[in-house]
């Protein structure tokens, strides 16, 4: 078995040991636009309580969506994919804390597992689910969604699959954050393919120190190809690393990189 395969297996095994986010109680309220509070030359501001809601998707399990509250026009999209044996609710909440109301955050659910968690069945299956989720979002909130040049963020399995997805669809995902996974997937040829297709920024967000050297090599390949690439390591106050997870110090490190990550795309605002 190759070293790359062993890294993938290690990441998937570690994900099963990571603490799992508990999904919140289903939320009945749905986002709406109040026509009596329309901004000048804009759509009515979006309102939702709570701001994170289910999204019905034809042919797929419900996705989870973070609403950009107060939006009066098109907002960009973050596609956030969770790890194996996980839930979309936890990562969606984490990504909302990072991006607030600057963007829609669409979190594909994946296939139900016997233990009531969820997983994705590979690159092709996840692409199909993302397509359906984004189409459902555009249909439900016409005029409020700008799905060109989306940002891909994935944790563990979502990051492993995501490395392949963004290379296949670089114009669709010119910016990406791969959290605790996917750093060992890059070659010079793949980096060049991502750059040629429109790739602009790649952030490798690590919680475990052993990932940093490999991520740094991959970042170098991407930089050489013309894609801006950074590597960050989340750390606990009394330790040189964090854990195989996505919030806490890793979210803090991601926030610190946002100005660089979104540079050149005015849709995100200041």
DSSP line for the chain: --HHHHHHHHHHHHHHHS--PPPPPPP----EE-GGGPPTTSPPPEE-SSSEEEEEETTEEEEEEE--TT--S-B-EEEEE--SSB-HHHHHHHHHHHHTTSSEEEE---EE-TTS-EE---HHHHHHHHHHHHHHHHHHSTTTB--SSPEEEEETHHHHHHHHHHHH-TTT-SEEEEESSSTTS--HHHHHHHHHHT--EEEEEESSTTHHHHHHHHHHHHHHHT-EEEEEE---TTSS---SSSSTHHHHHHHHTHHHHTTT-GGG--
- Report yes or no on 25 lying in a domain: no
- Report yes or no on 39 lying in a domain: no
CATH classification at residue 179: 3.40.50.1820
> Could you give the CA distance from residue 259 to residue 264 in angstroms, rounded to a whole number?
9
pLDDT at 160: 98
Give 10-residue mean pLDDT values along the chain (270 residues). 36 38 40 48 91 98 98 97 97 98 98 96 98 98 98 98 98 98 98 98 98 98 98 97 98 98 93
Q: How many domains does the chain have?
A: 1
Owning domain of residue 206? 3-17+44-264
- Report yes or no on 218 lying in a domain: yes
- Report yes or no on 38 lying in a domain: no
pLDDT at 12: 37
Task: Output the CA–CA distances (angstroms, integers) from residue 45 to 125, 172, 174, in the order listed.
Answer: 34, 27, 28
pLDDT at 32: 55
Q: What backbone phi and psi angles, to 5 degrees, belong to 137?
A: -65, -45
- Report yes or no on 177 lying in a domain: yes
pLDDT at 42: 85
pLDDT at 206: 98
> Could you give the CA distance from residue 27 to residue 54 in angstroms, rounded to a whole number?
7
pLDDT mean across residues, the chain: 89
- Report yes or no on 138 lying in a domain: yes
Enter the tokens of residue 64.
């989870």
- Report yes or no on 24 lying in a domain: no
- Report yes or no on 69 lying in a domain: yes
């Amino acid at each position: 078995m190759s070293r790359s395969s062993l890294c993938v297996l290690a990441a998937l095994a570690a994900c099963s040991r990571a603490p799992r986010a508990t999904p919140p109680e289903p939320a009945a309220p749905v986002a709406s636009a109040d026509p009596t509070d329309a901004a000048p030359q804009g759509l009515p501001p979006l309102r939702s309580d709570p701001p994170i809601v289910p999204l019905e998707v034809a042919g797929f399990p419900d996705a989870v969506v973070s609403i950009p509250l107060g939006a009066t026009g098109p907002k960009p999209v973050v596609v956030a994919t969770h790890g194996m044996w996980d839930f979309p609710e936890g990562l969606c909440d984490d990504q909302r804390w990072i991006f607030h109301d600057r963007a829609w955050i669409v979190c594909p659910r994946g296939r139900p597992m016997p233990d009531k968690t969820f997983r994705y069945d590979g690159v092709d299956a996840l692409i199909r689910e993302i397509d359906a989720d984004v189409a459902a979002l555009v249909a439900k909130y016409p005029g409020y969604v700008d799905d060109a040049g989306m940002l891909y963020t994935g944790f563990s399995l979502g990051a492993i699959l995501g490395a392949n997805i963004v290379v296949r669809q670089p114009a669709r995902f010119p910016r990406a954050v791969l959290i605790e996974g996917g750093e060992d997937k890059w070659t010079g040829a793949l980096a060049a393919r991502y750059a040629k297709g429109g790739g602009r920024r790649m952030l490798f967000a690590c919680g475990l120190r052993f990932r940093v050297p490999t991520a740094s090599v991959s970042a170098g390949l991407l930089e050489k190809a013309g894609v801006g690439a950074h590597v960050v390591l989340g750390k606990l106050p009394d330790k040189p690393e964090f854990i195989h997870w996505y919030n806490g110090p890793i979210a803090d490190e991601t926030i610190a990189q946002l100005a660089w990550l979104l540079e050149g795309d005015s849709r995100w605002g200041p």
